[in-house]
Amino acid sequence: MRPLAILGGTFDPVHIGHLCVAWEASELLDAEVRLVPASVPPHRPPPIASVEQRVAMLRAALAGQDRLGLDLRELEREGPSYTVDTLAALRAEHGTRPLVLLVGADAFAGLTCWHRWPELFDLAHVGVLSRPGDPPAWPEALHAAVDGRRVEIAGALHTLPAGCVILLDVTPLAVSASRIRDLLADGRLPRYLLPDGLFDEPGLLAAYGSTRRP
Ligand code: ATP
């Protein structure tokens, strides 16, 4: 069965790094991929842009293609956006369909701080997306959890509903939302770090104080 993969994040704002790695993961895994914006991210300060602004940016970024989708369930839930709850809901909807949690290498190194993190492996496979820079060290508990789960071939993820870990070697793009927010706050316009769609409608970047036109 073709896996369903999710990439969660704050997307504050969505940028070409998110889109490129999600697209490549979809190709490498032969999977449907959905971006899942978090409402109240449990591990970091609240986003600058409102929920409505982040959704508008995501919709604009994803327009004109049908490989990457958008799943708004975390925005519709009360309270912190725990990935374990999102995966449990997807598992209930999709039966034994393989699910894949996509996470950047930076986020994966901090996985043991996530709510009920060991359960994530019962609910989904994990696809770790390479990110430029030195790969962050994993704590011992994460090494122990990954031991025996590593697979090298994406096809392995098609035969089981959950439980494998695969490292996905995606194009290294040293782009981050924090860098983009800093540039916008300095009055700069990171035109080519952001998807075209964000410039189609005026005001999509207003949350970051940017009123400049491309
Ligand atoms: P911030 O700079 O605000 O921390 P971010 O650019 O890391 O934001 P998030 O929305 O926090 O974006 O990221 C969502 C997911 O996408 C995370 O798993 C993150 O590791 C991954 N990700 C973001 N940018 C990249 C990139 N350039 N390459 C690979 N993975 C990325």
- What is the H or E stretch that residue 9 is in? strand 4-9
For 23-177, strand residue ranges (E) read: 32-37, 68-70, 99-104, 125-129, 165-168
129 lines ligand 1 (CB under 6 A): yes
Atom 28 (ligand 1) nearest CA: 131
CA 7–ligand 1 middle distance (angstroms):
9
CA 168–ligand 1 middle distance (angstroms):
15
Q: Is the whole model's pTM more than 0.85, yes or no?
A: yes
Tokens 């990954």 sit at which residue?
Answer: 146
9 lines ligand 1 (CB under 6 A): yes
Residue 163: what pLDDT?
98
Residue 201: what pLDDT?
84
In angstroms, the Cα distances linking 169 to 29, 64, 131 are 11, 26, 9
48 lines ligand 1 (CB under 6 A): no
Residue 44: what pLDDT?
79
CA 104–ligand 1 middle distance (angstroms):
6
| pLDDT band, very low/low/confident/very high, at 148 (cuts 50, 70, 90) | very high
In angstroms, the Cα distances linking 75 to 7, 101, 139 are 14, 18, 31
The more confidently predicted of residues 127 and 41 is: 127
**pLDDT at residue 187 tops 80:** yes
**Atom number, ligand 1, closest to the C-alpha of residue 102:** 18
Strands 99-104 and 125-129: parallel
Atom 26 (ligand 1) nearest CA: 17
Residue 146: what pLDDT?
97
Residue 211: what pLDDT?
62
> How many whole angstroms separate alpha carbon 59 and alpha carbon 63?
6
The model's pLDDT over 77-101, given as tens digits with 9 standing for 90+, comes to 988 889 999 999 999 999 999 999 9
Q: Is 214 exposed, middle or buried (0-12, 13-18, 19+ CB in 10 A)?
A: exposed
- Average pLDDT along the chain: 94
* Residues in a beta bridge with 127: 102, 166
Atom 27 (ligand 1) nearest CA: 17
**pLDDT at residue 43 tops 80:** no
> How many whole angstroms separate alpha carbon 134 and alpha carbon 72?
32
CATH top-level class for 4-174?
Answer: alpha beta
Per the rule left: phi > 0, alpha: psi between -120 and 50, beta: everything else, 61 is alpha
Residue 40: what pLDDT?
79
Residue 1: what pLDDT?
86
Taking residues 62-72, report their average pLDDT. 96
173 lines ligand 1 (CB under 6 A): yes
Atom 14 (ligand 1) nearest CA: 9
